[in-house]
Copies of this chain bind each other. A is one copy, B any other.
Amino acid sequence: MKNSFTEENYLKAIYKLSERDELVTTTDIATMLDIRAATVTDMLKKLAVKKLIRYERYKGLSLTEKGRAIGVKIIRKHRLWELFLVQKMKFRWDEVHEIAEQLEHIQSDELINRLDEMLGFPKADPHGDPIPDKNGVFGKTRTIPLSQVKPKVVSVVAGVIENSNTFLQYLDKIGIAIGDKITIHAIEAYDQSHRISVNQGKEVFISESVAKNILVVGK
């Protein structure tokens, strides 16, 4: 058990890529981790030896159960820490990612389970991304972009698609956060911009692209 950070980061990246596509490629991983493909190839061999992935030269790879479990666990820890930072330490949701990148590698099942409990066994992190339970199982709350909600229907913000700091800060500025109730009053025909209100408050305008990037709980 040496510096398990690197290995954990690979497995997390591979898990995330697996969500889109079962078969993951060397280049995808290299891109996500911002390292060279040659480096990835080396690591893949090591992960395969440890039975964390199934890997065949030139053929892509997939996670084994063991590998998946580690990947999911890192994601669980990352998201619980993010929520902790926002709810208990009063950070804004656009400030927590980097710190959680570090905290996700802390080894202590006991700690992470107590954190889970302290936060009330939450289902989603401050960005709306789902948090798996201690067995690695994701509850399945369906979310849809705000842009697909009909006018006059009240919906609840569950997360975002675009996850950049600038976008999150923008939402912060116009006063939209997870859990807020949004009502669409009208959609401008010429540019599809939305006139909405947040928690029955005063109305604000958001562009179509913003509406597409806000996730709300679907029915």
Contacts and interface: CB of A to CB of B under 8 A. Distances in A.
Quick one: copies of this chain in the complex? 2
Nearest to A102: B106
Interface in A66-118: 85, 88-91, 95, 98-99, 102-103, 105-108, 110-111, 114-115, 118
Nearest to A98: B108
A166 interface: no
A106 B110 CA distance: 19
Query: How many A residues touch the partner, as a band?
Result: 20 to 34
A99 B114 contact: no
Nearest to A6: B3
Given A89-B111, A90-B114, 7 more contacts: A85-B111, A88-B118, A91-B110, A95-B110, A98-B108, A99-B108, A103-B106
Interface of A: 3, 85, 88-91, 95, 98-99, 102-103, 105-108, 110-111, 114-115, 118
